[in-house]
Amino acid sequence: MDRFRFPDDLIRAQQQWHDTYRALAAPRPRRTTELRRRLLRLSVRIHWHPFWSSPAGRTPAARVVLRQRAAGGRARGAA
């Protein structure tokens, strides 16, 4: 059984964060200001998501698992 069931919008936001970070970290990125602003918006969306107020989201492990799932490209509510 899965320990954390993340909402789809939270997983998508984390995946978009990873994509944006990779684009910004690329050699000679274009539109750096736009990418930085997007990274900040996504960071705020992820940080203040209501899931973190739920009992399952209160543990630091939940944030680690979310980052791992999103980086692995898995877009499910639970892994």
- Helix, strand or coil, per DSSP, at residue 6: coil
DSSP state of 72: T
Residues 11-26: tens digit of each pLDDT: 999 999 999 999 999 9
Q: Mean per-residue pLDDT for 64-77?
A: 74
For residue 9, the surrounding DSSP H or E stretch is helix 8-25
Give pLDDT, residue 73: 57
Question: Which is nearest to 3 in space by CA: 50, 62, 53?
Answer: 62
d(CA 53, CA 11) in angstroms, rounded, equals 16
pTM given for the model: 0.83
